[in-house]
Structure 1
Amino acid sequence: MEWAKLLSTEKLSSEPPEPDSFKEYPINAFEKDYSRIVSSAAFRRLQDKTQVFPLDKSDFIRTRLTHSIEVSTIARQLGIMISKNTTQYKPTDIAVPEDAEAIASVLLCAGLLHDLGNPPFGHFGETVIGDWFKENLDHVKYKGQPLRSWLSEQMIADLENFEGNAQALRILLKAKHGSSLNLSKAIISTLVKYPTDSCSVDKDSADIRKHKLGFFAAEQETFEQISEAVGTATPNKGIVRHPLTYLLEAADDIAYSTADLEDAFKKGLFTLDQFIEYYTNSYDHSKIVSHRSPEYFSDEQIQELSKQRGADHTPENDSAAFKKWLTQTRQWLMYVAIYRFSCKYKEIMAGTYCGDLFEGTNHAITIDILKGAMRKFAFDTPGILKLELSGQVILDFLLDHFVPAVLYYDSAYCTDGQAPSKADKKLLAIFSGNYKQDYQNTRTGTESFDLYLRLLVVTDYISGMTDSYARTLYRELSGIE
């Protein structure tokens, strides 16, 4: 792979040229993409989508929007660190300042976009949508036959393993048909953490890119074209990760492993003493590997936290100490991520590196402990479980109603009196015209594939909802209000 192609500013659809006067005050193409992202409706809707705590009433607790801004900031900083590092591993093929500026800008944009396809109620919402299709493809019928009998193996796997990452790509690739969010191919390629189709997913694979699906069958051809354009398509290994994807993934891990923990602490789900005890008991010294520099021995971190809190264990002092400690931990994690990227740069650029950027460092232990603390203190608390169950009721209800409504939406396939019912027509009227136009733009004339596309219209609509809108629509359609 080479940066000249990896940093492609080519768009999915052509755009009118800018006035020559604009060239007097130039900004790079990725900065222009950034402006489009922050002005888009899909990005704004993240302000009312769950990060960890569904429908939380506190202004302090992070949403998908604030989380995405934090990821974007960290990702951009990692991009800057790569081009300015002073170690022996500094990449020599990154031109300064053009490529360095572009790398930081691409990561800035990709960080904002990385959760764009997430449905309401967080990652649990993804599970609910996938489980609904697993349970219903054999029961919901189209022209007298179960939906499953109409769909290919990949179409079925797409629906049963609904994935926010693939949905984010789907949103962006609609630009091919005139969407205003017409972004550079470098950004789109960076966004795809898992360049793998749903039939090739292997969660136990040593190759991290195969752990989840990264694109649906509906977008596979376009994504392959993008991969060719940026140089991530290889003859032997298929599509490999864009090098900047590793930095985006690290930024996401750093953001949620520290910020989500801060939110959980703020909500009173654990005390500082409980966290220090958990960290101390979870730190496995047998996994320590000797490095050239002592900074990788992260067991000393928890001792630093104990010092920072001091002797006066008031809630205010504990909160300040924990926040300061998380900030320092975040900085170390960024340092180690760049260290690993630099050391493994040749493998990454060759498309042969299979791990994440914490693998092989002692801060991999830190990340595991931080994520484990969230599982212990937050994810299984009654408050979250109740709200997740509420989210499941809402999403199941919406899928129960909207999936049957779209089956006969395309009159070209309706024969022998088949047509949407009066109720179906009312439900279809609720859909934004954009979703219907998207279907018209992509329909193929092949009945089975177009049925699959109509099912994707439903997942498009539901995954695009905010938490509040999904709850309100459920209450309205169920007659509660």
Structure 2
Amino acid sequence: MTKMNWQHLLTRERLGVANSNDTQQWYRSTFQKDYDRLIFSAAFRRLQDKTQVFPLAQTDYVRTRLTHSLEVSSVARSIGMLVGQHLSNNFSLGDFRASDIGTILSAAALAHDIGNPPFGHAGEDGIGQFFADSPVGQKALEEMSLAEQQDLLNFEGNAQAFRLLTKLQNVDNDGGMQLSLSTLASFIKYPCGSLERKKINHVALKKFNFFQAEKESFRYIVDRLGMVSLLKENNETIAWARHPLVYLLEAADDLCYSLVDVEDAYRLSLISSGLVINFYQTIIDRYGGFPNKVKRISRDKDKIEYLRAFAMGLLIDEVVAAFIKYEEQILKGECEVDLLSLIPSADALANIKSYAYDHIYVSKPVLEVGIAGHEIIDGLLKAFVGAVNQEYYLKSTSKSRMLISFLPDQFLGPNRKLDDNPYLRILKITDFISGMTDRYAVHVYQMISGVHLTT
């Protein structure tokens, strides 16, 4: 049975840099450079005004995509350090250290939501729905291949993140931000294209992680790292098993939103403190119950924060133990489920998630702005997709010319000419809109429609 090996999976090679095996500096490793490039990037800064769960929140306590990504990065680093110690004790990793695994994961965590459009999942769904339902969107798909059409009909923030990191950010560089291959692979949760998603029942194919425009870069990464084939067509691999570190990043992400979303909901008075404490208790009771310190905490807010951190520490240990237990299956591409479903606290976490889906994610503030987000995304796409296609087919109007004049240079072709390729012409519009913050999307929508929205 073919399996991946750590000697190939860990590399300092950078995407787009010929013969690169990044020179180590005593004070900053290759993967710390990845972290620094990400945290100083404009795309990462924009996450401060992108929806996590509660859009356009009126309180500065509730998490945005930025704070969520920083929290995931912190948890991923801790998990990575512990797994790194296991790897360094049991495998020949050359000059790679345990801390490198922690740094790779902390960097990948910064990138995991960087491609999400405004208004959270409502924004993602809104883009796909526009191309499925709008006559303007349907017309734009007519000249594209089936795979290109599926990229847009099933628009995916994970694929947009890969496009952003490998092309759109630092557009003049081959390889975009030129991150290390190991860091890039560690955030690719779904190593397949839009046509291959859901073809088999495997966690790696639930969604997709690259658009057709980035297929070549994606294949280069998986080939260089020796990632295992999951699905072949005409004797050619069309879907791959995940890089093993993806399981750890996914676990860090899921732990953060599982424990934190109920905390945010309490701060917005959507659920009671007692219910949140009870959720955490179902995890902590397995390990002997609440520590004595809890009795000395008088305020519910502080008690919840302490218990959330305490529960997180216990769950990190469970994740590391599960990864070590199932490592062989993971390396062979045979682990078909996410890691959190394999830990002792799986049922407790599933109950928290179930409650959140039934009560928090359908709460009034989430639904109100989610509905508005759909309307805004639809309006923006209708305006800008319609404008570029009118111009390209020489049917321009004064409005379409003004809309195109509004587009920044990077969302048009060289010398501000429109791309002849219909797929790239429209993909650049989704680049423009998915890169918007929530408030900027509202602002542009107001500008083109004359509608005033309170933010």
TM range (shorter): 0.7 to 0.9
Structure 1 residues 135-214: aligned runs within 5 Å: 135-136=133-134, 139-140=135-136, 146-174=139-167, 178=173, 181-202=177-198, 205-214=200-209
**Deviations, residues 183-226 of structure 1 (Å, cap 9, x unaligned):** 111111111100122122228x5310111112112212221111
Q: State the one-letter code of the partner of 2:410.
A: N
Q: Is the 8 Å Cα contact of residues 84 and 98 (structure 2) preserved in structure 1? A: yes
| Structure 1 residue 115 corresponds to structure 2 residue 113 | yes
Name whichever of 379-388 and 354-363 sits farther off: 354-363
1:149 CA displacement: 3.1
Name whichever of 244-253 and 470-479 sits farther off: 470-479
Structure 1 residues 412-423: aligned runs within 5 Å: 414=393, 418-423=394-399
| Structure 1 residue 368 corresponds to structure 2 residue 350 | yes
Distance 1:23 1:327 in 2: 34
Structure 1 residues 62-461: aligned runs within 5 Å: 62-85=63-86, 92-93=90-91, 95=93, 98-136=96-134, 139-140=135-136, 146-174=139-167, 178=173, 181-202=177-198, 205-234=200-229, 238=237, 239-275=240-276, 298=283, 300=285, 304=289, 317-407=299-389, 414=393, 418-437=394-413, 450-461=421-432
Q: Is the 8 Å Cα contact of residues 140 and 426 (structure 2) preserved in structure 1? A: no
1:317 CA displacement: 2.6
Q: Is the 8 Å Cα contact of residues 7 and 92 (structure 2) preserved in structure 1? A: no
How many residues in Structure 1 have an aligned counterpart in Structure 2? Answer: 440
Which residue is equivalent to 1:288?
none
Q: Is the 8 Å Cα contact of residues 133 and 159 (structure 1) preserved in structure 2? A: yes
Q: Tell me, which stretches of 5 or more residues in structure 2 are unaligned?
A: none
Which residue is equivalent to 2:5?
2
Distance 2:432 2:383 in 1: 13
CA RMSD in angstroms comes to 3.2
Distance 2:364 2:341 in 1: 33
Distance 2:320 2:365 in 1: 37
Distance 1:478 1:426 in 2: 13
TM value normalised by structure 1: 0.83
1:265 CA displacement: 1.0
TM value normalised by structure 2: 0.87
The alpha-carbon distance between structure 1 residues 277 and 388, as it changes in their structure 2 partners (threshold 3 A), is: same
Distance 2:286 2:243 in 1: 33
Q: Is the 8 Å Cα contact of residues 109 and 187 (structure 1) preserved in structure 2? A: yes
Distance 2:254 2:29 in 1: 28
Q: State the one-letter code of the partner of 2:439.
A: S
The alpha-carbon distance between structure 1 residues 186 and 84, as it changes in their structure 2 partners (threshold 3 A), is: closer
Q: State the one-letter code of the partner of 2:161.
A: A
Which residue is equivalent to 1:287?
none
Name whichever of 108-117 and 325-334 sits farther off: 325-334
Q: Is the 8 Å Cα contact of residues 308 and 321 (structure 1) preserved in structure 2? A: no
Q: State the one-letter code of the partner of 2:188.
A: V
Structure 1 residues 26-45: aligned runs within 5 Å: 26-45=27-46
1:457 CA displacement: 0.8
SS at match of 2:209: coil
Which residue is equivalent to 1:295?
none
SS at match of 1:74: helix
Distance 1:28 1:438 in 2: 36
Distance 1:267 1:158 in 2: 36
Name whichever of 165-174 and 370-379 sits farther off: 370-379
Distance 1:24 1:120 in 2: 38
Q: Is the 8 Å Cα contact of residues 82 and 98 (structure 2) preserved in structure 1? A: no
Larger Cα Rg: Structure 1 or Structure 2? 1
The alpha-carbon distance between structure 1 residues 97 and 339, as it changes in their structure 2 partners (threshold 3 A), is: farther
Q: Is the 8 Å Cα contact of residues 262 and 276 (structure 2) preserved in structure 1? A: no
Q: Is the 8 Å Cα contact of residues 14 and 21 (structure 2) preserved in structure 1? A: no
The alpha-carbon distance between structure 1 residues 279 and 3, as it changes in their structure 2 partners (threshold 3 A), is: closer
Distance 1:438 1:76 in 2: 41
1:478 CA displacement: 1.5
Distance 2:429 2:374 in 1: 16
Which residue is equivalent to 1:294?
none
Q: Is the 8 Å Cα contact of residues 49 and 466 (structure 1) preserved in structure 2? A: yes
Distance 1:15 1:318 in 2: 55
Q: Is the 8 Å Cα contact of residues 90 and 342 (structure 1) preserved in structure 2? A: no
The alpha-carbon distance between structure 1 residues 235 and 477, as it changes in their structure 2 partners (threshold 3 A), is: closer
Q: State the one-letter code of the partner of 1:103.
A: I
1:115 CA displacement: 0.1
The alpha-carbon distance between structure 1 residues 193 and 378, as it changes in their structure 2 partners (threshold 3 A), is: same
Distance 1:17 1:380 in 2: 48
| Structure 1 residue 468 corresponds to structure 2 residue 436 | no
Q: State the one-letter code of the partner of 2:429.
A: V
The alpha-carbon distance between structure 1 residues 197 and 265, as it changes in their structure 2 partners (threshold 3 A), is: same
1:442 CA displacement: 12
Distance 2:163 2:389 in 1: 21
Q: Is the 8 Å Cα contact of residues 88 and 98 (structure 2) preserved in structure 1? A: no
The alpha-carbon distance between structure 1 residues 476 and 235, as it changes in their structure 2 partners (threshold 3 A), is: closer
Distance 1:176 1:2 in 2: 33
1:353 CA displacement: 1.6
Q: Tell me, which stretches of 5 or more residues in structure 1 are unaligned?
A: 284-297
Q: State the one-letter code of the partner of 1:60.
A: Y
Q: Is the 8 Å Cα contact of residues 137 and 385 (structure 2) preserved in structure 1? A: no
The alpha-carbon distance between structure 1 residues 440 and 232, as it changes in their structure 2 partners (threshold 3 A), is: farther
**Deviations, residues 116-150 of structure 1 (Å, cap 9, x unaligned):** 110001112111111111102xx2389xxx33432
Q: Is the 8 Å Cα contact of residues 412 and 418 (structure 2) preserved in structure 1? A: no
